[in-house]
Chain A
Amino acid sequence: MAYRFDFTSLWDYAPVLVHGVATTVGLTVAGTVLGVGIGIAGAAARNSASRPLRLAVGAYVELIRNTPFLVQLFFIFFGLPSLGIRMPEWAAAVLAMVVNLGAYSTEIIRAGIDATPKGQVEAGASLGMTGPQIFRYIILGPAMGKIWPALSSQIVIVMLGSSVCSQIAAEELSFAANFIQSRNFRPFEVYFAATALYLALAVLTRWILARLGDRLFLKGAARA
């Protein structure tokens, strides 16, 4: 073969890759925590009594789900400054991920909530609990348990999607790969290594989320 593979040249750049992995993990964790938070709030809002609120959240969900993440990212990072809203690239990356995951998880969590038996809500109401209390203590837990696998897949998709944040100079894993490639001109080795790292991250993320789901939501329900 004409091309000689040389993975050793990657060693010099190991710290760059490590930094990239750490940033990707950081972005994902922040994006997930806040994004799922938005999802829960969004799902609650879609079930609320206020029609304008329901419509607004519905529009947000549809708008985000029907436009590419990359464009959302560009809009936030390059477009928003025209309105005087300026933020560092990591913040823009996190914001884009939160906004994106928020829309998807709103939809996913809402499906879980719709699957809650009406009797559960009535039992809560008859004990004198308020709407928000019923949502918080009765509906949410079992609903999250039901949709956790779907939500986990979405989180992995968002983690992988964060690779395009390199485009606004957020120094995550694919930024690291591009950076190294622009210095050692060994694209095959670099992208191969980065892809393997992403795969490992995806497997790890899935594993952690599955454990977390068992921990948080497996109470009672799974013992049925």
Chain B
Amino acid sequence: MLEFSFWDILSNLLLAARWTVLLSVIAFVAGGLAGLLVLMARVAPVPPLQRLAKLYIELFQGTPLLMQLFIVFFALPLVGIETSPWTAAALALTLFTSAYLAEIWRGCVEAVPKGQWEASASLAMGFSEQMRWVVLPQALRIAVPPTVGFSVQVVKGTAVTSIIGFVEITKAGTMITNATFQPFLVYGLVGLLYFALCYPLSLSAKALERKLNVAR
């Protein structure tokens, strides 16, 4: 029968980590773009849009990522939308990420003084021009640390995609556990791998925050 050496376990986990990283990057980029749209809707001076964006945020912050995944994966196809584990994982993570990022960024936009909106309005700029040229550049600066901090949640969120069969670190871990009967070792390694991915992000978020506080 086949035998997994320590090196087999580690290398398989490391290979699976590629997918964790890739999925995180996709979720973060797509979630960031979607989040930007939700943010725009959330702060635009159009009440129905604001309410819609608020509902979106409430919905995706108020339900488990796992359920979102299940719905995207098993339920959407029933209404004719095909989803592979890849698209389901990417889609659910994007929705999840965008809702949180939109909310984080809204805080940053609101931290930009009202006078900046008024000054740009009095120069005849429209909403999108104000956003693009005046507000976002200022909000961006303060948004960097919490955004980097949130990326840790995205990386960790990818673990849940293992449940729909997406083979990333956690799924690889369960599979290897089952072949090796060494859960302590395998899940320990899995945890360490995530730590290795996330801790640098956490550290840089903290460092960025310190830098921002000094600059103020």
Touching in the complex, A and B, CB below 8 A? yes
A195 proximity list for chain B (CB < 8 A): 63-64, 67-68, 71
Q: How far is the CA of A177 from the CA of B63 in the complex (A)?
A: 14
Main secondary structure, interface of B, reads helix
Q: Considering the complex, which residues of chain B in the window 77-113 have a beta carbon less than 8 Å from any beta carbon of chain A? A: 78-80
CB B72 to nearest CB in A, in angstroms, measures 10
In the assembled complex, A210 has its CB within 8 A of some CB on chain B = no
Neighbour of B59 across the interface among A1, A163, A188, A199, CB < 8 A: A199
Neighbour of B75 across the interface among A69, A79, A167, A188, CB < 8 A: A188
In the assembled complex, A78 has its CB within 8 A of some CB on chain B = yes
Encoded as 1 (CB less than 8 Å from any B CB) or 0, chain A from 176 to 198 comes to 01000100000110011011001
In the assembled complex, A134 has its CB within 8 A of some CB on chain B = no
A3 proximity list for chain B (CB < 8 A): 78-80
A79 proximity list for chain B (CB < 8 A): 183-184, 186-188
B194 proximity list for chain A (CB < 8 A): 66-68, 71
**Contact assessment for B160 and A164 in the assembled complex, using a CB-CB cutoff below 8 Å:** yes
**Contact assessment for B75 and A75 in the assembled complex, using a CB-CB cutoff below 8 Å:** no
Encoded as 1 (CB less than 8 Å from any A CB) or 0, chain B from 176 to 191 comes to 0100001110111011
Q: How far is the CA of A54 from the CA of B74 in the complex (A)?
A: 46
In the assembled complex, B133 has its CB within 8 A of some CB on chain A = no
Q: Considering the complex, which residues of chain A in the window 193-220 have a beta carbon less than 8 Å from any beta carbon of chain B? A: 194-195, 198-199, 202-203
**Which residue on A lies nearest to B68, using beta carbons?**
A195
B interface residues, how many (CB within 8 angstroms): 42
A74, A80, A81 — which one has the most chain B CB atoms within 10 A of its CB?
A74
Known contacts: A191-B75, A199-B62. The answer to whether A163 contacts B202 by CB under 8 A is no
List the interface of chain B (C-beta within 8 A of A): 58-59, 61-68, 70-71, 74-75, 78-80, 152, 156-160, 162-163, 170, 173-174, 177, 182-184, 186-188, 190-191, 194-195, 198-199, 202
Other than the given A164-B163, A174-B64, A199-B59, 11 more pairs (CB < 8 A) read: A3-B78, A62-B202, A65-B198, A67-B156, A68-B159, A70-B170, A71-B170, A187-B75, A194-B67, A199-B58, A199-B63
List the interface of chain A (C-beta within 8 A of B): 1-3, 62-63, 65-72, 74-75, 78-83, 156, 160-164, 166-167, 174, 177, 181, 187-188, 191-192, 194-195, 198-199, 202-203
